[in-house]
Chains A and B, each alone.
Chain A
Amino acid sequence: MISDNSLSPFLFHIYIFEGMMKEADAAEEDRPTLLDMLSMGDNENNAYITFCDYILPAVCGRKSNEAKFNKSYLSKVASVSDEAFALLSIENAWDRWVFQLDNPDSDNIPATRYSQEGSQSRALIYSGWKRIGTERFRELQKLVKEDRTTDDRMEFEKLYLAKRQESSSKNRRGIRFRDNDHAIIENDLLEDLDDVVAVGV
């Protein structure tokens, strides 16, 4: 470790700057890319776990399928077209959303790949999607179908189910009453019951 006193102010600033750049590079390497997500069952950079945790439930129904995700394999809960549409959605707007995350105040937002902007008649022909968007969807359906037959995918689904079950059991432990300190709050129940008994008598 280099002490701050051993460096001149100029060198010290360079040292700090280099450190920041290294951290930024590391963060950049850790960040899953769109290609990672499209690798599906290969789960490059844990990208598909992120995809299954956050994106896929938005398509399948987050609340209605919450329990199913903890009990069944992914391919039993999400249909092929659910998965393909989730991939299409993020592929369509990946550049735009990442740009918006990095530059929240910028107005110069990149266009989406497959969906039409605005409400012109051209946008309505394919229900807001360009023709290449629907073609890409068909292609993604094929890719998902193929991916579901691979060994990597099987391994991934087992791993993901185990992870979900582990995290759900942790969550369940967290809300047990006996783990918490009880606050005693008086209510009017007993008085009300007394009244009922009095009337009954």
Chain B
Amino acid sequence: MVVSNADIKCSNMASRLLASRASSAGGAAASTTNQTLTSRTITGRTTSIPTRTSNNTAPPSVVGTTVTTNDTVSDIGSGASAVFMNQQRSNDFILTNDQLLGIVSKNVRLDLFHLVKFITSPSELDWGEPIQRWIFKKVNFSEDKSLKEFWAKHCRCVRLALNKKRGNVSTEVKSSFMSKSIISYHLT
């Protein structure tokens, strides 16, 4: 395999798309982390801080009146929590092959289809042709060697995604044509 899984890094749009998915996937862990590291104060009373080391899973209990008014974050510069946080952050920017293909095919379905309806020749999918350049620009892929190999391996997916979309649209056109409103008001 030329491009290994979880090795392709890209920026901007593609990463943002995946970042939202990654953050929702790791959301539980992240929110737990925040809870364990944050001392939250409610006006008039404070809650006890469950710590990571104590593995305290019980709900925070009301302790008494309080003093502080701001949220305070404990030091995360050392230990396993820092490693975990760094991993979480870096995971946001790493895409697997499947995820990359998902982004590409989504762009084909939603945007490219409005500009290109047929790919009749394989040469239209060659590196440097307008379709490749449009897709890479759209998803902010850099044009380095690894992505060139990725494209050579997976450009066929663009054609398949386009064909599938065209088939779905044709079905939709047929159902619109056959719909009751057209039959009763216009065609009969």
Interface residues of A (CB under 8 A from B): 27, 31-32, 50, 54-55, 57-60, 62, 79, 81-82, 84-86, 89-90, 93, 97-98, 100-101, 126-129, 134, 137
Interface residues of B (CB under 8 A from A): 114-120, 159, 163, 166-167, 169-170, 172-179, 181-183, 186-188
Residues of A within 8 A of B176 (CB): 54-55, 57-58
Q: How far is the CA of A62 from the CA of B168 in the complex (A)?
A: 13
Q: Are A60 and B181 in contact (CB under 8 A)?
A: no
Q: How far is the CA of A82 from the CA of B114 in the complex (A)?
A: 6
Q: Are B163 and A134 in contact (CB under 8 A)?
A: no
Q: Are B173 and A89 in contact (CB under 8 A)?
A: yes
19 of the cross-chain contacts (CB-CB < 8 Å) are: A31-B188, A58-B173, A58-B176, A59-B169, A60-B114, A79-B115, A81-B114, A93-B177, A97-B177, A100-B178, A101-B178, A101-B188, A127-B119, A127-B120, A127-B159, A128-B163, A128-B166, A128-B167, A134-B120
Known contacts A55-B173, A126-B118, A127-B166; can you find 11 more A-B pairs with CB under 8 A?
A: A58-B173, A58-B175, A79-B115, A81-B117, A82-B114, A101-B188, A127-B119, A127-B120, A128-B163, A129-B118, A137-B118
Q: Are A58 and B169 in contact (CB under 8 A)?
A: yes
Q: Are A101 and B120 in contact (CB under 8 A)?
A: no
With contacts A32-B186, A128-B163 taken as known, whether A97 is within 8 angstroms of B179 at the C-beta atoms is no
Main secondary structure, interface of B, reads helix
Q: How far is the CA of A134 from the CA of B117 in the complex (A)?
A: 10
Q: How far is the CA of A144 from the CA of B100 in the complex (A)?
A: 35
Which 7 pairs between the two chains have the least Cβ-Cβ distance? A58-B172, A89-B173, A58-B176, A54-B176, A58-B173, A127-B163, A50-B186
Q: Are A126 and B178 in contact (CB under 8 A)?
A: no
Rounded to whole Å, the gap between the CB of B127 and the closest CB of chain A is: 22
With contacts A54-B182, A60-B114, A129-B118 taken as known, whether A31 is within 8 angstroms of B177 at the C-beta atoms is no
In the complex, residue of chain B having the shortest beta-carbon distance to the beta carbon of A141: B117
Partner of A79, one of B114, B120, B163, B179: B114
In the complex, residue of chain B having the shortest beta-carbon distance to the beta carbon of A101: B183
Q: Are B188 and A27 in contact (CB under 8 A)?
A: yes
Residues of B within 8 A of A62 (CB): 172
Q: How far is the CA of A178 from the CA of B187 in the complex (A)?
A: 37
Partner of B120, one of A27, A55, A86, A126: A126
Residues of A within 8 A of B178 (CB): 97, 100-101
In the complex, residue of chain B having the shortest beta-carbon distance to the beta carbon of A81: B117
Residues of B within 8 A of A57 (CB): 176
Residues of A within 8 A of B175 (CB): 58
Residues of A within 8 A of B170 (CB): 89
Residues of B within 8 A of A31 (CB): 186-188
Q: Are A101 and B187 in contact (CB under 8 A)?
A: yes
Rounded to whole Å, the gap between the CB of B163 and the closest CB of chain A is: 5
